[in-house]
Amino acid sequence: MLLVLIDTDEDGVPGPGTDDLLAVAHGTGLPVHAVVIGTVPDGLPAECVHRIRHDLLSGYAPEAYGESLAQLVTRAGPAGLLAAATERGDEVLAQAAARAGVPLATRCVALRPGDPWSLTRLRSGGVLLEDAELSAPVAFATVAPGAAAGAETPAATGTPEIVDFTPELDPALARTRVVERVPRAEGVSLATAPVVVSGGRGVGSAEGYAVLEELADLLGGAVGCSRVATNNGWRPHRDQVGLTGTRIAPDLYIACGISGATQHWVGCMNARTILAINTDPEAPMVTRSTYAVVGDLHEVLPALVDALRARVRGSGHAPPAGVSARSET
């Protein structure tokens, strides 16, 4: 039996990566039991739901969550414990693994039970795959969002039985616990924008991004950037696309003056279409993109913005719906 941690928000809505997690868990062929800390979502494809309840678990608390999971593993005796490889999933499973004294394989895309388990995991943000073997009394692993892309999400086959579990938690664990939550401001977020207009070293200055913002506005999208732009203080870090920035999968990614180093590429490689604007026809961003314009972005972008503005005026239509993604630098 596999225990699968389903992370939910306050309303019991499963977090990102849950479908991939469930698909990979069911793909092992082992019976799947869900673990939920909080409200149990409807329609979980699991034989049984272990609902962990304790006063210290009323808000997100990495140590108390990890300790609870380690205790549940001792109680339920599963073959493995899985979670989505989100920041939270990786953190909680690392806490649980450290407490259970077992290894942890993060960011897996395939898992095959056995002795040892064999698995494939993402490295370097996904530009490399690592085939590995996990030897452990219980296999602890996190599943990369997107791991089961294309596979069907397993359907629920009835209402799972709910079993309550109350861990014994030292009140000292309350020291790592969310004490305040600040909801995100409205607007197109980089992570979910359908179009991202991104600029790198080629933009040359903070002011240079004005035309990228204008283009993003016209396309109902958000502005992104490479690490060179954040390091130079041209853009805030939350705009950074890549390994240590945000990983995005927009319908269209327009990369202006970005070379396409691996650490940037992993952030945008899941875009459906990529348009590169670059003076260098040999730049990896150009050779890997769907479409390219070879040229100076300082010439191409203003001309493009003019053409789009003229079109909007000509048609009498407003630009596509979408809020300005102007960033308050």
Ligand X SMILES: Cc1cc2nc3c(=O)[nH]c(=O)nc-3n(C[C@H](O)[C@H](O)[C@H](O)COP(=O)(O)OP(=O)(O)OC[C@H]3O[C@@H](n4cnc5c(N)ncnc54)[C@H](O)[C@@H]3O)c2cc1C
| Structure-token match 């009394």, residue found | 137
Q: Which of 217, 223, 220 is nearest to 197 (CA)?
A: 223
Query: Which residues between 227 and 256 bind ligand X (CB under 6 A)?
Result: 227-228, 240-245
264 binds ligand X, rule: CB under 6 A: yes
120 binds ligand X, rule: CB under 6 A: no
Residue type present at position 112: R
User: Which among other proteins, ligand X, none contacts residue 202 (Cβ within 5 to 8 A by kind)?
Assistant: ligand X
User: Which among other proteins, ligand X, none contacts residue 200 (Cβ within 5 to 8 A by kind)?
Assistant: ligand X
Give the nearer residue to ligand X in terms of CB position, either 119 or 228. Answer: 228
Please list, residue by residue across 121-131, b when 16 or more beta carbons sit within 10 angstroms of its beta carbon and e when fewer do.
Answer: bbeebbeeeee
3-state class (DSSP) for residue 162: strand
Interface mask (CB under 8 A) for other proteins, residues 66-105, using x and -? ---------------------xx-xx--xx-xxx--xxxx
Helix (H) / strand (E) element for 299: namely helix 297-315
307 binds other proteins, rule: CB under 8 A: yes
Smallest distance, Å, CB 161 to other proteins?
30
How many residues contact ligand X, by CB under 6 A?
27
DSSP string across 201-265: GGG-SSGGGHHHHHHHHHHT-EEEE-HHHHHTTSS-GGGBBSTTSB----SEEEEES----HHHH
Smallest distance, Å, CB 300 to ligand X?
8
Strand partners, 315: none
- 121: tokens are 């995991």
Smallest distance, Å, CB 221 to ligand X?
18
290 binds other proteins, rule: CB under 8 A: yes
Q: Which stretch binds other proteins (CB under 8 A): 76-84, 117-125, 158-166, 201-209?
A: 117-125
User: Which among ligand X, other proteins, none contacts residue 182 (Cβ within 5 to 8 A by kind)?
Assistant: other proteins
Q: How far, in Å, CA of 68 to CA of 78, rounded?
A: 15
298 binds ligand X, rule: CB under 6 A: yes
Residue 259 buriedness (CB in 10 A; 0-12 / 13-18 / 19+): buried
Q: How far, in Å, CA of 65 to CA of 309, rounded?
A: 52
Q: Which stretch binds other proteins (CB under 8 A): 24-32, 37-45, 146-154, 237-245?
A: 237-245
Query: Which residues between 121 and 150 bind other proteins (CB under 8 A)?
Result: 122-136
261 binds ligand X, rule: CB under 6 A: yes
Interacting residues with ligand X (CB under 6 A): 200-202, 226-228, 240-245, 257-259, 261, 263-264, 267, 277-280, 283, 296-298
